[in-house]
Chain A
Amino acid sequence: MKTFQYERPADADTAVALLADAPTGAYLGGGTNLVDLMKLGVAAPDLLVDVSRLPFDAVEETGTGGLRIGAAVRNSTLAVHPLVRERYPVLSQALLSGASTQLRNAATVGGNLLQRTRCPYFQDVGKPCNKRRPGTGCPAREGAHRDLAVLGASEHCVATNPSDMAVALAALDAIVDVASGHGPRRVPLTDLHRLPGDAPDRDTTLRHGELITAVELPPPMPGARSAYRKARDRASYAFALASVGAVLQVREGLVHHVRVAFGALAAKPWRARTAEEALLGEPATTASFDDAVRHELAAARPLRDNGYKVPLARRMAVSMLTELAAASAGGTP
């Protein structure tokens, strides 16, 4: 039988030290993804360092009016936190659209960020997959890829990142706090995940043993509106076909600040920087939103069965920005 060690350290330093000495160990959050992958034989850590009960379980206001979210905060706790609901609706909505109540009760912020792709080949050790076993090939390109990437993919991998929460965090310019033996560092959320290129086995820019301790949100833009929307095959308990998180601030009819992030289109939450740049200072109208989003999605390279994602993402983004603009104008919170 495959056995593994289980440790539940009391503080981050011990956790980091434990994993620094275990090249094939892993941190354990709520276990809702990692334990599944262990059962499937996809992951086989010999040491689990349980970080779900480290003292990173608070949601606190920062000195600058932002929010600091501990990595061990449960997804359900975060979703209903009054400050999140009031100031960052996009985040609350994204969390509530993910998984099920039971899963959200167990899932942690750190684990959610590092959950792995749902690509069916990745989850089946009986099949080739470059992400699971580099060099074996990518059957998804010709096979089942209706759910997979249209942006930023490579010939080696077309997987998507499945997290809803990460899309909201990308739209909020979140910063991820990381601890390691080399001291702490801060990684912008949009730099945390990486595109596959020729190394699809590496989902993120984290090095082995780096521990996510918190996620920090900058203060909300005054008067800005935000929202999250997810399209899916069934009304709940399904991963996104495409999703969009957006933050919009309109001044005198012009776009003053805008953030748009797409989910389920790429191996990372896709910040629509091209669209954002195009929109700055433009009239907050459906026509300019549509133009900008089309511009952004021109980079899409769909496969046989996932081309629908492009119009889907566009319609969702345009209608959301239009609604946010209307809400700004109307003054409804």
Chain B
Amino acid sequence: MTTLPRVTGEAVARIEARDKVTGAASYAADHPLDGLTHAWPVTATVARGDITAVDDSEALRDPAVLAVLTHANAPRLADAGDPMVAVLRSPHVAHHGQIVALAVAETLEAARAAAGAVRVTYDEQPHDVVLTADRPGLYTPDEVNAGHPADRRRGDFDAAYAASEITVDAVYEVTPLHNHPMEPHAATAVWDGDALTVFDSNQGSTVVRSTLAALFEVDEADVRVVSEHVGGGFGSKGTPRPHVALAALAAKAVGRPVRLALPRNRIAAVTGHRAPTIQRVRLGADADGHIDALAHETVTQTSTLTEFVEQASVSSRMMYASPHSLTTHRVARLDVPSPSWMRAPGECPGMFALESAMDELASACGLDPVELRIRNEPPVEPDSGRPFSSRHLVDCLREGARRFGWHDRDPRPAVGRDGPLLIGSGVAASTYPVWVFPSHAEAYAGSDGRYEVRVNATDIGTGARTVLTQIAADALGVPLDLVRVSIGRGDLPAGSVAGGSSGTASWGWPVHKACTDLRQRVSDAGGHVPDGGLFVRADTEQEAGGGTEYSRHAFGAQFAEVQVDTVTGEVRVRRMLGVFAAGHILNPRTARSQFIGGMTMGLGMALTEGSFLDPEFGDFTERDLASYHVAACADVPEIDVHWIDEDDPHLNPMGSKGIGEIGIVGAAAALANAVHHATGMRVRRLPIHPDTILLGL
């Protein structure tokens, strides 16, 4: 057998790129179906209360309107254990914008008009939606997101901090943020007897399928979920969201296919947000910058429906050598929409705080911020004492500093000037854990020399389909174009969610395993695939299911240069540079997009994005893309991305770490630190809008 050059590591273009740019790729709301009907949600106008009456008489006057579903008349869903999908089950309103009814009609316009004509009466109760660090009712959760303990204590923080020569004590705040993927949450559902088909926009249709089966008390085998193309999620489609349950419920109720695409201005309330955090960081160090004491205490919010705790203090447990450490989380359960995952939950806001505090410590010690981080490099993971499977933070910092020209800068704050503009630069470290979840895959060799690989992966725009094809082709030892990878369907071998930057590792592993096995079988058969083909199955329940004796994380260093307009207070980014160490990079083309995308989203978090939770209504003020300011092209300068290839044998057969989230981590701190360098002003609350700067100059 001849050996082909490996295709993993090659810059292969997205397999479905052409379909996407020509419009041939079908998303959840694109599937034409005979007899299709349309749904539009009615949402609560109170933040807390109980529905006392629903008047749908005006809505139903239009013969095009098929139904107005409410808790009172909708088929009752079983409990699937997830309050986010427990739709139209109860008269209780837990937050503003909760979906309280659904209008279904022959046309989208009729459904929208009907929804607008439904009159809901509430017994309104007083609501509590304001998060402060000293409010009553803060509690310690059993655990925080990703299963971490809420509190960790090592050594004696108080004593060590009190004894420290240099201290930093500061509070950092991140406002609520919204994922706002380009494709809204949408589903098209159709029943055939007890069999349900949904075309759904999600980050993992395996769970959507099992959840729908539980909600409707049908066999999983009778639920077909198709999610071939997904227009982004950023965490907000990580678990089933209300739209898919509603579409299926409505389809059952009206006995016709139903399409529901949540209007953009309803997404903010029902699909999750990054919970606001108020984070106090205290660092105690000696005059040389060696950290002896580190405390990171997070206050955040959850809803009365679910408990989701943004684990913002968690990265402080593993970033720097810190003999005495205290990391905690306190939560307020408020009458707010349920928070959920948003790109790098925990690490993203947490590292804004920690890496800003590191910059403050560097100033206090008179040390270069790159050097400060190098001095605090831990030999093993501080929290657990486990060795790192690989850790190249220092290399990233050094390589980034060299490429950025970091050491050429004047370190003094507020000295860089270009006419009315103040110029400054900043650095921050980034990190993201390695997650891998058990998944299953099948590989099939046809007698025509072609191969098919099946795994229920989800490509949310990342390039997963392409990378999996590369992994399969290499494991099979055949050219890329002989391999077809099927993903994005609930009836394929179960794959884990496209979340936690775990997808490529989790799906790639069983694909690699199945394909390696299949290659052996083909070889055993003398290189000839018999008529009827050869077929193998593989899973990683064993390999990926257990723990590991290593602390596994990706690392990176982010550098940024900003200009601050002294007339308007506007901060604009001049350049950003990221250097990452994330195992083997399997496709430099799609990887670069992930890093750049993450950094861009970090730029948005730092400077433009933010949702205001209106105390009077308990509602987010920014509900469309005109008012929720995702960074526009004009905001995004040259973003330069590099990586250090790591050879880490403790990961998976591909040697990869996740790359989807690390790009956002640290970006906001690098920018805020650059603003400090430019102006001498320390901004500890995001986003850094012109008014903040102006009032501080």
A100 to B, closest residue via Cβ: B632
Q: Is B116 in the interface zone, CB < 8 Å from A?
A: yes
- Cβ–Cβ < 8 Å partners of A234 in chain B: 607-608, 629, 631-632, 634-635
Let me know if B62 is at the binding interface, CB within 8 A. yes
Residues of B32-60 contacting chain A, CB below 8 A: 43, 45
- Given A1-B109, A126-B45, residue A311 in contact with residue B694 (CB < 8 A): yes
Contacts of B107 in A (CB 8 A): 1
Known contacts A1-B109, A143-B615, A232-B570; A241 and B691 CB within 8 A of each other? yes
Among B566, B572, B691, B694, contact of A146 (Cβ-Cβ < 8 Å): B691
Q: Does A6 contact B (CB under 8 A)?
A: no
Instruction: Establish whether residues B109 and A319, one from each chain, have CB atoms under 8 Å apart when the complex forms.
Output: no
In the complex, whether B159 has a CB less than 8 A from a CB of chain A is no
Chain A minimum-CB-distance residue to B603: A234
- Residues of A contacting B21 in the complex (Cβ-Cβ under 8 angstroms): none
User: A127, B617: Cβ atoms under 8 Å?
Assistant: yes
Residues of B within 8 A of A241 (CB): 690-691
Q: A308 near B691 (CB under 8 angstroms)?
A: yes
Q: Which of A263-304 contact B (CB under 8 A)?
A: none
**Which residues of A sit under 8 angstroms from B631, Cβ to Cβ?**
234
Once the chains are docked, how many angstroms separate the CA of A187 from the CA of B191? 61
Q: How many angstroms from the CA of A165 to the CA of B547 in the assembled complex?
A: 62
Report which residue of B64, B614, B695 has the largest number of chain A beta carbons within 10 angstroms of its beta carbon.
B614
Give complex CA distance A150, B105 in Å.
45
Q: Cα distance A237–B635 when bound, in Å? A: 10
Contacts of A2 in B (CB 8 A): 109, 113, 116
How many residues in A have their beta carbons less than 8 Å from beta carbons of B?
Answer: 33
A165 CB to closest chain B CB, in angstroms? 17
A241 to B570, CA, bound (A): 11
Range for the number of chain B residues in contact with chain A: 35 or more
- A119-136 CB mask vs B (1 if < 8 Å, else 0) is 010001111000000000
Contact mask A209-237 → B, CB, 8 Å, 1/0? 00000000000000000000101111111
B420 touches A233 (CB 8 A): no
A237 to B112, CA, bound (A): 28
Given contacts A126-B45, A144-B614, contact A1 B110 (CB under 8 A): yes
Q: Which residues of chain B come closer than 8 Å to A127, judged between CB atoms?
A: 45, 617, 619
Among A40, A315, A319, the one with the most B-chain Cβ atoms within 10 Å of its Cβ is: A315
* Whole-angstrom distance between the Cβ of A286 and the nearest chain B Cβ: 12
Q: Which residues of A contact B4 (CB under 8 A)?
A: none
Q: How many A-B residue pairs have CB under 8 A?
A: 97
Given the contacts A142-B616, A144-B614, A231-B568, A312 and B632 also touching, CB distance less than 8 Å: no
Cβ of B523 within 8 Å of any chain A Cβ, yes or no, is: no
Query: Shortest beta-carbon distance, A40 to chain B, in Å?
Result: 8
Task: Say yes or no: is A41 at the interface (Cβ < 8 Å to chain B).
Answer: yes
Contact residues, B573-632 vs A (CB, 8 A): 607-608, 612, 614-617, 619, 621-623, 626-627, 629, 631-632
Q: What's the minimum C-beta distance from A97 to chain B, rounded to whole angstroms?
A: 11
CB-CB under 8 A from B265, the residues of chain A are 40
B599 to chain A, nearest CB (A): 16
B398 at interface, CB cutoff 8 A? no
A234 to B600, CA, bound (A): 13
Closest chain-A Cβ to B124's Cβ sits at a distance in Å of: 13
Shortest beta-carbon distance, A133 to chain B, in Å? 14
Indicate whether B689 reaches chain A with its CB closer than 8 angstroms.
yes
Docked-complex contact A236 and B617, CB < 8 angstroms: no
Given contacts A120-B621, A139-B616, A315-B568, contact A237 B420 (CB under 8 A): no
Give bound CA distance, A233 to B142, whole Å: 39
Complex CA–CA separation, A1 to B109 (angstroms)? 7
Distance, CA A293 to CA B570, complexed state (A): 21
Known: A231-B570, A319-B567. A312 touches B694 (CB 8 A): yes
CA distance A316 to B687 in the complex (A): 22
User: Is A257 part of the contact surface with B, judged by Cβ < 8 Å?
Assistant: no
A2 to B62, CA, bound (A): 10
- Known A-B contacts A233-B608, A235-B572, A236-B634; the reply to A316 vs B616 at CB < 8 A is no
Q: Which residues in window 538-593 of B have CB below 8 A to A?
A: 566-570, 572
Within the assembled complex, what's the spacing in Å between the Cα atoms of A1 and B627?
28
Q: Which residues of B contact A87 (CB under 8 A)?
A: none
Check B689–A233 contact: CB distance below 8 A: yes
In the complex, A202 has a CB within 8 A of chain B: no
CB distance from A330 to the nearest CB of B (A): 15
In the complex, the answer to whether A236 meets B608 with C-beta atoms within 8 Å is no
Q: Which residues of B contact A41 (CB under 8 A)?
A: 116
Q: How far is the CB of B113 from chain A (nearest CB, A)?
A: 4
Chain A residue with Cβ nearest B689: A233
* Cα distance, A39 to B633, chains bound together (Å): 27
Pairs A-B, 7 closest by C-beta atoms: A308-B691, A235-B634, A236-B634, A231-B568, A126-B45, A144-B621, A1-B110
A-B contact pairs, 23 of them (CB 8 A): A1-B109, A1-B110, A2-B109, A2-B113, A2-B116, A41-B116, A118-B627, A120-B627, A143-B621, A232-B690, A234-B607, A234-B629, A234-B632, A234-B635, A235-B634, A236-B635, A237-B626, A239-B626, A241-B691, A308-B691, A308-B694, A316-B568, A319-B420
Q: A-side interface residues toward B, CB under 8 Å? A: 1-2, 39-41, 118, 120, 124-127, 139, 142-144, 146, 229, 231-239, 241, 308, 311-312, 315-316, 319
